[in-house]
A and B are shown apart, each in its own frame.
Chain A
Amino acid sequence: MIDFKELWGALDWTVLALYFLGVMSVGFIMHRKASKNFKSFFVASRRLTIPVLIGVAAAAWYDSWTIVGLGELGSTLGISIILFYVIPSGILRLPLALWIGPITRDKIPDYVVTLPDLIRYFYNKPAGILASIVPMASILYCCALLFAVGEVLNLVSGVPIWATMIVAGFAIILYTAMAGMWGLAVTDLIQFMVMTVSAGAVLLGIYHHFNGVDALYDAVAASDPAKLSLVGNQTFAGAFGYVISAAALYVNAQSYQRFGAAKAGGDIKVAYSLMLVIGIAFSAVMVITGMASSVIHPDAATASEGFWATVFEVLPAGARGLFVAALIAAVMSTVSADMLITGGIFVKDIYKDLFKPDLSDKGVLTGTRIMIVVIGIFIIAGTYLWRNGIGSAWSTIGGFQVAVFLIPILGGFFFKRKTAAGGLIAIIAGVIFYSIWQFVLGAPYAIPSSVATWIFGGVVYFAACFATYRKKDDRLTDGKGGL
């Protein structure tokens, strides 16, 4: 049994306390700026430039899974996870950086600020309302992320995990509700810097621990040579699952909210491409750390315990605090952004659009803040009460949203003959098909439900669009939708 408390010292606590203090101070400072209107609160008045965008983009795309999750996979699967996850997620995200992000910012009107807004803009109001279910998966994912913070704080402090989750959860609620996107624009960048510097420090520590690369590779080869093979211990289904998981970001509400917060499309292109460069480098470090942990702590109770034990062993006092702060930073930035987006969607796209069309901008802003608190409490409770079911709920609902919305979103951006009816029919058909394929048929022929739904949904989408397309096109029942 590894005694983490012995490795964790006063200097580490000091670093962690300074981090929390800094983040909360930003919330207070940015409170007034974020309180002007919903646009200011939700998309930081669309003023974010390249360096700031890199921080908020990294916060949306890289979270605790990128740290501990990739570490665990590095420990069990070795370098094959580089080939099947790290590289595909870099390449498959390039179209978001090069085309979809800039188009979202430059060619979509300013009133489109949420993902349901975007679907509604491409198709019609019912399609937009259906897209409001997307945040559900994000909330469940936040529960899983918050658990990672609770776990590591529990390891180093011995304080019960429910208490550590409450402290971290309320800290996130407080600064998100106060400062919105303006706060995130500042804290995400600080958090991003903490993450990358910590990654550099831990890799340097591993290098010194093994006194070079060769000894690490020799030790890994001695424990399991397959971990040094690019296809390694992967199964076809597992490898395919990692590759297609990169597509999740195409239906990620955070991605579109970040695009909307940019000053211009060109800023997105530069910032997101740069962020993909560091994303590959950062992820690779976590895989190496996992590989190192499998030989430094082969008897650890879990892969995550081995990962943390390795990190604490190779880093000096103070740097350990920085690395834990990096994990908390990654979680806080993702969870806070999800709380902000989900709160905004609930109030703007569901409550205002369906029940109270005359709700003022100030009302939307206040309502979003209230929803952030409600969602935050739900996340804290959910993390504790349903921790065992969160993973499966997330993969089911997350898989569902990718399966159903990917084709309509891509079609919305790039298909010239899209129609309102085509989009709505494809979304409804996708919901029904996914439910039958996943739950009634049990994903037969080893074809994942998401892939089957893409094929079916794609056929339905194009057939419906061609069938309903007229020269004086009917796309825009809400009077918009063309790019």
Chain B
Amino acid sequence: MADKKHTPMTPEKKNKVGNWLAIVVVLLSILVPMGFIWGTQVLFWFLIIINFVFGPCCFIGYLLEVRRGVFSYDDSEE
């Protein structure tokens, strides 16, 4: 069943978020090697937390998408 309250991100907003994420990728590309050189605890805990959290967060996002009807569209459309 589609979630009526949900307002999807506009294309402009997605574009903006995508650009910010690209900056994050570039920053990570600088910070991760530095963390490796110094062997910091911060790098380890960052890697542990992001790996633990990221997949389940995506899964929750996925469940919300299912609730909003990402898989039911085809049935009703055709």
Contact = CB atoms under 8 A, between A and B. Distances in A.
Question: Do they bind each other?
Answer: yes
A17 interface: no
Nearest to B10: A266
B56 A197 contact: yes
A97 interface: yes
B62 A51 contact: yes
A280 B44 contact: no
A207 B17 CA distance: 33
A199 B26 CA distance: 22
Main secondary structure of the interface of A (DSSP, over half): helix
B76 to A, nearest CB: 12
Contacts of B65: 49-52
Nearest to A202: B51
B18 to A, nearest CB: 3
Interface residues of B, number: 47
Interface residues of A, number: 61
Interface stretch (A164-172, A268-276, A420-428): A268-276
A266 B14 contact: yes
A212 B41 contact: yes
Contact of A52 (B26, B55, B62): B62
Contacts of A33: 71, 74-75
B32 A193 contact: no
B65 to A, nearest CB: 5
B11 A97 contact: no
Given A94-B25, A213-B41, A280-B32, A266 B51 contact: no
16 contacts: A33-B75, A48-B70, A51-B59, A82-B32, A86-B32, A192-B55, A193-B55, A196-B52, A200-B51, A270-B18, A273-B18, A276-B21, A278-B51, A278-B54, A284-B36, A288-B47
Interface of B: 9, 11, 13-15, 17-19, 21-22, 24-26, 28-29, 32-33, 36-37, 39-41, 43-44, 46-52, 54-56, 58-59, 61-62, 64-65, 70-71, 73-75, 77-78
